Amino acid sequence: MSEPMTQSEGAGEPTRRDFLYIATGMAGVVGAGSFAWPFIDQMRPDASTLALASIDVDVGNLEPGMSLTVKWRGKPVFIRNRTEEEVAEAQEVPIAELKDPIARNANVDGTAEATDLARSAGEGLENWIVMIGSCTHLGCVPLGQAGEFGGWFCPCHGSHYDTAGRIRKGPAPENLPVPPFAFTSDTVITIG
């Protein structure tokens, strides 16, 4: 036979036992949280990564036809001052011939077509192109001014990009992405 319930147990009022259960449970939660916090905290980016959230690059010495590679957020970024011929060649490519018709430019609408203008620094600055230099196939770093289309060539698996960084041939599925950037003066680009 079971023990008779006291009046406070029958009325639904908390007992000393209920208090001990709740206090023990809360102590366990606090203990688990203090044990887990160092593991959670170590997943945050360190100060050096946060410091590189944006970088300024002086491109004043880049003549037409010259390139510069900088590091931003641990990735190579290609900056190229294209020649008039390279710009004209990229502008002549019909969108229908492109393997990836999306611009992949963080500075324009996400659905923008991969025209040369949508891949460049914009109106009046069409000669400037800034791209993350990681092949969209497996992340290799393509070689500049190489390949069948005079842009970038990834020798690892044979992806060919044109002078606007658009994938034209090979296994890469997408154009080289354009990071957020802006000219903050005539000769300085801020990336990020």
Residue 137 annotated as catalytic: no
Enumerate residues 6+ apart whose C-beta is below 8 A from 158: 169, 170, 171
Q: Which helix (H) or strand (E) holds 87?
A: helix 84-91
**In angstroms, rounded to a whole number, what is the distance separating the alpha carbons of residues 93 and 58?**
30
- Phi, psi angle pair for 72, to nearest 5°: -140, 120
178 contacts 104 by C-beta, under 8 angstroms: yes
Longest dimension (CA), the chain: 97
Token pair belonging to 63: 């003549």
Q: Of 23, 36, 139, 157, which is the active-site residue?
A: 157
User: Three-state SS for 159?
Assistant: strand
Report the side by side order of strands in the sheet with 75-81.
66-72, 75-81, 128-132
Residues assigned a catalytic role: 157
